[in-house]
Structure 1
Amino acid sequence: MAKPIPKENVVYIILIGVLCAAALYFAYEIRWEFATPESLQTKRVSVMLWLIPLQMVILYAFGQLEVMAARMRSYDFLQLSSALGLTAIFQFYLWYVFSGKDMPGRSIILIDFMLALLAIGGLRALLQYFRGDAFGLKQKNGLSSQRIAIIGAGFVGNSLALELLTKRGFGMVPIIFIDDDSSKIGCTYCGLRVFGGVKTIGQAAAKFDIDRLVIAEPAISPSKIREILIAARRDKLDVLIVPSPQELLYGQIRADQLRALDLEDFLGRNTLDTDSIEVHDLISESVVMVTGAGGSIGSELCRQIAAKNPSRLLLLDHSEAALFTIEQKLHSEGFHSLVLPLLADVSDETRMRHIMGRYRPTIIFHSAAYKHVPMIEQQPGEAIRNNTLATAKFGRLASEYNVRRFIFISSDKAINPTNAMGASKRLAETYLQSLSGKEGMKTQFLAVRFGNVLGSSGSVVPIFKKQIREGGPVTVTHPDVTRYFMSIPEAVGLVLQCASQGHGGEIFMLDMGKPIKIVDVARQLIELNGFEPDIDIEVKFVGLRPGEKLYEELHYTKEEYAETPHPRVKRYTAEPADLAIVEAQLSELEEQVETLDRNQLKQMIRRFVPEYVPYLD
């Protein structure tokens, strides 16, 4: 059954038809100075009978007969002009073919084009004005819309203002712009005046009864965001922000993309390009497997890889719930036929052998791991089984099935480790480096180290957010503890850069920026939620946990530093250990991992990782 045409759309189509007819009628009148000969009056009617339907068909083809198209931006004006211009060109063609017989004259065709463009454009401008609720600032449900000030009168700010003025369903009406550019203050854009800079937010809020601020500067600095947030908290204003530069397409912003401020905005937004031809060449038409596909890093790896045209993307995870979530997310983004979810544990060699033989991946991103430091510290055997032994078996399997490239997701905690998790990752790095150096090895084994990523499961940020929701206290281990942070999309983008650069045996380290005190992260999150640290929400120091460092290190002293083509990626190369020795060490660990207690196991690991300083009960 055909979907009925909305009533308002029918009215809009009729109006357009009437305007097209009126334009042609007055084109004749203007040409003949309102004394159109009687013979041409008859011809005018006959022309209307075929020209108006033709114009309506072409307008429909250009998407100009939808009532939702009743807006007038530069793109819309171009589409309307193209549709009417095509009609005029067709009339000129008919005039030429039939030598002007029974066809409108050339001057009438031009006048008709200009009048139709003026009439339809004027109608749409009026509809845009009224649909923007210029008079009452009311939504259809009768609730008052929020009055907003847009911070940033640049291209993105103007695009957002037009979006909100055109569409009334978002409950926000732009009133003024705020911009620190002195050349813009006092100017008018999209009918909105630039009131002043960020320091005038309080004055603007009082004068114009502002309810909310929207930051429309994608590359805004963290210090400026903090200044805006302080002003907003003082005047009890909500704050939203546009997406990051990577998420914007040519500066066009939709109102439904606006989001609340997050910690990433305070730690700085990465504007460095993490996409390249090399990455596309690596992924395109390849069968790519991601282990731990449902995890924080794994799911973002899947999302970014899917966008680079692999022939198939294998999602592997032992958690049914996590696997279902990432599968559904990728389906919603249009990758239905591309993705294949595989429920499996990488430590299950029989199952993994079947998968490798059946699907033959050419590139593997191995991100499956146990990573929660305090939990693993109490159960080091699980870290050895999952992070080290399973990785070693999987690496051997990858080489057996001629996988072209194997990228191991490691951690900065593998550098001079003080916890079992870091030591287990370091052992896996050592083995893969040794395996890569084996004579005749065709698989290129790489490792990528990076620190904390914002929003990953088990990281401090989600824990702090939960503590703030519960009213505090926010617990920090030590006032001087520092960590490196980056966003998940940024980290994964750089992992793909590493994957495209490696040749086998390298360990890559991502440039994490400057280390940040965890206590500063806690205080910024408290401020983001509208509270005062140590006044509304207490920050409480509870002492370092077993295996925890005050600060993370970036590389071993024996590793040689080398630049890479990407400024945010460093390459470390070291002489690989003898493969036979490393395999003997792992065999010894595998034999005794079930029988030793955790202190004995940590001491055993230390024999194989001399840099490891274990925490012993």
Structure 2
Amino acid sequence: MYDSLRKKIFGGDNVVSLSDVRYLPRWIILIIDIIILVVSLFLSTYIIEKITQREFIYDDKSLVFLSIIVINALFMYVFKTYAGIIRHSTFTDLFKLLTSCFCTMVTVATINIFYFWFTGGKFILTPYLILYFIISFMGLFLFRLYVKEFFHIVREYRRSTLKKRILVLGIDEQSIAIARAILDNPSLPYHVVGFLTQRTDSKRASLLGKPILSKEKIEKHSKEELLVDGVIIIKEMMSKDEMNSWVNLFLEKDFNIFKAPSVQKLRDSDLGGSIRNLQIEDLLNRKPIKIESEDVRSRHFNKTILVTGGAGSIGSEIVRQVAQFNPSLIVVLDQAETPLYDIELEMREKFPHITFKFVLADVSNKHRIEPLFQTYNFSMVYHAAAYKHVPLVEENPHEGIIVNVLGSRIIATLSSKYNVNRFVMVSTDKAVNPTNVMGASKRAAELFVQSLQNVEGNKTKFITTRFGNVLGSNGSVIPYFKKQIEAGGPVTITHPDIVRYFMTIPEACELVLQAGTMGHGGEIFVFDMGEPVKILDLARRMIKLSGFEPNIDIKIIYTGLRPGEKLYEELLSDDAKTLPTHNEKIMISKDPSMAFSEIESMINLVTRAAVKRDKVEVVRILKTIVPEFRSNNSIYEILDK
């Protein structure tokens, strides 16, 4: 310690932090304690003399005082009252002080008795001794208490200067519980400085000793004036509109925005990991679809399930959700080797009691697929395998036909042939009035699947689900923007006016499971996806949530629409009608359909063209199958003329 202080003082740095003073030497503590004893002795004498109006009656006052101090110091040495680190004093240290003072009083009282026997007088009067015992003990105790509290205050101050100064949004029980948990956990990097509410009647009130600020005050002052770094919100306690309103204000004021779990999900052990930066997904989330768990469970419990594209974003989530209903077997099929291996490792760890079979295969290879239907008596088939990236499929339309159309045909036909109870196809909103090959190929697959429903002898219920962009899926815009922001920009957007619908992966898969339960065959289910989101607004919010300023710290540039891309996605075709279901978030789209013989012959034509790698012929036939298909920003626009 001395070397450290000497280097600071004589090495040019004259600032000595309290953190550099580890602890005082024991002999200094003993000297301070003796000084307290001397003061206590004189103070007790002064009090007695003032009360009795008489001076100390003994001639050799200094000898008596010295004897008492020596005896007390001796017992302090015996009980090592000076040995502990004061700022870490405990009840044990307090007990040692009490014992040493008590032993001192008993010893002096014993000397008094012997002194009286031999001299007939008193060494010291009992009132002096009792008062000295009380004052000396209190003095020694308060010295340690004040030192302990002083270091605690200094430590908390130093911690608070290093922590983020945050407000807690809300003054309800949930918000108070979160604030108390943060205050009680000194290891967290947050320091609660107050609460925030929309109410205006709480200006002079406080919670947990912290002030309550109104929304009006936040609007009128900057975060520098408020001495606040950020805000913690509890997402579950607010509606989407309330959350957007608050977040807009916080982003405008450049606050860091953190989200905390609800009290029901809160555990002290993982509170630090539960408080995270607010993500753009939190602002786009809606209330999830309400699943009739018993109906879904009965469809999957002890059944054999096939999931194609089971290693993809949607397919893997379907596998996760289906596994919760304890099927007898889940066959996961995908042509991507590494993602299939990853989902295998995850499923075998999370669901060791479920039987899985992971199959590396292409859905367009009938000779590879049919043995699976022969071997396993599938009850449910979820068909999520597809090529979905618009520019890639636009450049390679023949490959899109092979997987999206031929693959769907093979899986659906085999499902009917082997009497699968239900076939659920995952489609896309890009199949509605398509402007690209990918969307048109999915619409062609929809038409074929629908047509199978009315084929003579068919016992399978064919069901289609259609939804928009999925948050966090492979290749989706949000992970793409995140990578660009982490790299320092720029963030690239194809067009300033482009808008898209969004939903989460769990929501999408809940729709698929719900549709498989409620469908009677031949339906196309669409989801009420709320309001579309402008991609430019999405990018700006993501940049702000990352702590940057759009077009200052992170540039936004426009690259132009990609081949086949359109500004607005639709969930329903122009001439489609919708029917409600018992779930207000799910509707049935009554799109035009085709007879099986007609669509089958057209599928044969486009498949032969795809095998020949004749791109133009593939798209020309596809436009015949899907007459509403109008190419946009694509070389195939010439075919529309």
TM-score strictly above 0.5: yes
Aligned with residue 538 of structure 1, among 536, 555, 563:
555
Distance change in 2, residues 1:420/1:232 (3 Å): same
| Superposed counterparts of 1:366-381, under 5 Å | 366-381=383-398
* Secondary structure, aligned partner of 1:178: strand
**1:249, 1:494 → 2: CA distance?**
28
**2:177, 2:382 → 1: CA distance?**
39
**2:202, 2:235 → 1: CA distance?**
15
Distance change in 2, residues 1:172/1:356 (3 Å): farther
Q: Is the 8 A contact 1:225 1:265 kept in 2?
A: no
2:195 corresponds in structure 1 to 177
Q: In structure 2, what residue type is equivalent to 1:458? A: G
Distance change in 2, residues 1:605/1:570 (3 Å): same
Is residue 587 of structure 2 the alignment partner of residue 570 of structure 1?
A: yes
TM-superposed deviation, 1:427? 0.9
1:240 corresponds in structure 2 to 258
Output one character per residue of 1:140-180: Cα deviation in whole Å (capped at 9) or x when no partner: 9x995545432223343234334435555544454433232
Q: Is the 8 A contact 2:605 2:621 kept in 1?
A: no
| Superposed counterparts of 1:89-100, under 5 Å | none
1:431 corresponds in structure 2 to 448
Q: In structure 1, what residue type is equivalent to 2:542? A: L
TM-superposed deviation, 1:327? 3.2
**1:139, 1:303 → 2: CA distance?**
46
Q: Is the 8 A contact 2:432 2:443 kept in 1?
A: yes
2:571 corresponds in structure 1 to 554
Distance change in 2, residues 1:148/1:307 (3 Å): farther
Q: In structure 2, what residue type is equivalent to 1:151? A: L
* Secondary structure, aligned partner of 2:457: coil
* Secondary structure, aligned partner of 1:466: helix
2:635 corresponds in structure 1 to 616
Is residue 328 of structure 2 the alignment partner of residue 311 of structure 1?
A: yes
Aligned with residue 154 of structure 1, among 156, 172, 175:
172
TM-superposed deviation, 1:607? 1.6
Q: Is the 8 A contact 1:417 1:423 kept in 2?
A: yes
2:545 corresponds in structure 1 to 528
**1:232, 1:502 → 2: CA distance?**
44
| Superposed counterparts of 1:326-341, under 5 Å | 326-341=343-358
Distance change in 2, residues 1:224/1:199 (3 Å): farther
| Superposed counterparts of 1:563-602, under 5 Å | 563-574=580-591, 576-602=593-619
* Secondary structure, aligned partner of 1:409: strand
**1:450, 1:177 → 2: CA distance?**
40
**2:590, 2:245 → 1: CA distance?**
44
TM-superposed deviation, 1:221? 4.7
**1:145, 1:494 → 2: CA distance?**
43
2:365 corresponds in structure 1 to 348
2:26 corresponds in structure 1 to none
Q: Is the 8 A contact 2:222 2:253 kept in 1?
A: no
| Superposed counterparts of 1:138-287, under 5 Å | 146-165=164-183, 167-182=185-200, 191=208, 193=210, 195-200=212-217, 210-221=228-239, 225=243, 228-229=246-247, 237-242=255-260, 250=264, 252=266, 255=271, 256-270=273-287, 273-287=290-304
TM-superposed deviation, 1:349? 2.1
**1:526, 1:194 → 2: CA distance?**
31
Distance change in 2, residues 1:201/1:557 (3 Å): closer
Distance change in 2, residues 1:234/1:192 (3 Å): farther
* Secondary structure, aligned partner of 1:410: strand
* Secondary structure, aligned partner of 1:599: helix
2:529 corresponds in structure 1 to 512
2:5 corresponds in structure 1 to none
| Superposed counterparts of 1:280-295, under 5 Å | 280-295=297-312
Is residue 436 of structure 2 the alignment partner of residue 419 of structure 1?
A: yes
TM-superposed deviation, 1:405? 0.7
**How much is the aligned-residue C-alpha RMSD, in angstroms?**
3.2
Unaligned runs of 5+ in 1: 1-129
Distance change in 2, residues 1:413/1:232 (3 Å): closer
TM-superposed deviation, 1:260? 1.7
Q: Is the 8 A contact 2:327 2:354 kept in 1?
A: no
Q: Is the 8 A contact 1:291 1:365 kept in 2?
A: yes
Distance change in 2, residues 1:188/1:324 (3 Å): farther
Output one character per residue of 1:587-613: Cα deviation in whole Å (capped at 9) or x when no partner: 222222132532222112112221112
**1:161, 1:506 → 2: CA distance?**
49
TM-superposed deviation, 1:498? 1.6
| Superposed counterparts of 1:396-415, under 5 Å | 396-415=413-432
Output one character per residue of 1:468-488: Cα deviation in whole Å (capped at 9) or x when no partner: 223333222222222111222
Distance change in 2, residues 1:236/1:575 (3 Å): closer
* Secondary structure, aligned partner of 2:236: coil
Q: In structure 1, what residue type is equivalent to 2:558? A: F
**1:225, 1:508 → 2: CA distance?**
29
TM-superposed deviation, 1:525? 1.6
**1:398, 1:281 → 2: CA distance?**
20
Q: In structure 1, what residue type is equivalent to 2:484? A: Q
Q: In structure 2, what residue type is equivalent to 1:240? A: F
Q: In structure 1, what residue type is equivalent to 2:362? A: D
Aligned with residue 473 of structure 2, among 444, 452, 456:
456
Q: In structure 2, what residue type is equivalent to 1:457? A: N
**1:531, 1:578 → 2: CA distance?**
55
**1:230, 1:613 → 2: CA distance?**
38
Distance change in 2, residues 1:234/1:551 (3 Å): closer
Output one character per residue of 1:219-264: Cα deviation in whole Å (capped at 9) or x when no partner: 4355655565566567765321135xxxx68464652323221112
1:487 corresponds in structure 2 to 504
Aligned with residue 441 of structure 1, among 451, 458, 463:
458
**1:332, 1:169 → 2: CA distance?**
32
**Of 373-382 and 498-507, the range deviating more from structure 2:** 498-507
TM-score w.r.t. the length of structure 2 is 0.68
Q: Is the 8 A contact 1:369 1:386 kept in 2?
A: yes
**2:204, 2:310 → 1: CA distance?**
52
TM-score w.r.t. the length of structure 1 is 0.70
Q: In structure 1, what residue type is equivalent to 2:236? A: P
The percentage of aligned residue pairs carrying the same residue is 36
* Secondary structure, aligned partner of 1:346: coil
Is residue 623 of structure 2 the alignment partner of residue 606 of structure 1?
A: yes
**2:215, 2:342 → 1: CA distance?**
41
Output one character per residue of 1:513-547: Cα deviation in whole Å (capped at 9) or x when no partner: 11222222222222222222233322222222211
Aligned with residue 387 of structure 1, among 392, 404, 409:
404
Distance change in 2, residues 1:138/1:286 (3 Å): farther
**1:258, 1:238 → 2: CA distance?**
12
* Secondary structure, aligned partner of 1:441: coil
Q: Is the 8 A contact 2:174 2:263 kept in 1?
A: no
Q: In structure 1, what residue type is equivalent to 2:512? A: V
Unaligned runs of 5+ in 2: 1-148, 637-641
Q: Is the 8 A contact 1:223 1:266 kept in 2?
A: no
**Of 390-399 and 351-360, the range deviating more from structure 2:** 351-360
Q: Is the 8 A contact 1:139 1:168 kept in 2?
A: no
Q: In structure 2, what residue type is equivalent to 1:317? A: D
Q: Is the 8 A contact 2:540 2:550 kept in 1?
A: yes
Output one character per residue of 1:100-142: Cα deviation in whole Å (capped at 9) or x when no partner: xxxxxxxxxxxxxxxxxxxxxxxxxxxxxx9xx99844999x9
**2:266, 2:492 → 1: CA distance?**
41
**1:239, 1:276 → 2: CA distance?**
35
Rg bigger for which structure?
2
Corresponding pairs, count: 480
Distance change in 2, residues 1:406/1:166 (3 Å): farther
